[in-house]
Amino acid sequence: MRAIVSEKFNLLEEIENALGVDVAKRLISVYGGMLISVPRKAEGSTMEDDLGPTLAQFLVELRGGESVEVPVGLKYRPAVNRNTVIAHPELSANELARKLGITHTRVRQIRRELRLQKAEAGPEALPDYP
């Protein structure tokens, strides 16, 4: 394996431009903040299982055989937090806080914002929140 890539390149921007923002968010949700070894071949790899074939193949073509530090993706964090709260109305504020690394107060703020948006948009717009 080659040395850790020390040159600065904007991995997220490259992924966004080639595959879209949702795909970049997927990388962050799985590997954000980690040092990963990009395999030389995507097919059958753990990375392919974790990220799907398209993103895994893109990373292999971009940095195959190298170790890469995956950014935390702070610019996506508010959207990820909101989407996770939307996707898991059955979880308590404490459970979501633990899962997302935020406070229970912030989870309740997000839920309150969602309730207000739902009231403005109509009852079919978003699920019910505690």
Are 24 and 47 in the same domain?
A: yes
Q: Which residues share a beta bridge with 68?
A: 36
Helix (H) or strand (E) holding 68: strand 67-69
The enclosing H or E element of 19 equals helix 11-19
Containing structural domain, residue 94: 75-121
What are the tens digits of pLDDT across the range 55-64? 999 999 999 9
82 and 40: one domain? no
| pTM, to two decimals | 0.61
**pLDDT digits 0-9 by tens, 79-124:** 889 988 999 999 999 999 998 889 999 999 999 999 898 888 776 6
Task: Please indicate, yes or no, whether residues 58 and 81 belong to a single structural domain of this protein.
Answer: no
From the list 15, 54, 11, the residue with the least C-alpha distance to 36 is 11
Is residue 45 located within the same domain as residue 84? no
Answer whether 55's CB lies under 8 Å from 91's CB: no
Phi–psi pair at 126, nearest 5 degrees: -140, 160
pLDDT tens digit sequence for 10-53: 888 899 999 998 899 899 889 988 999 999 999 999 999 999 99
Q: Check whether residue 49 and residue 34 sit in a common domain.
A: yes
Task: Provide the number of structural domains found in the chain.
Answer: 2
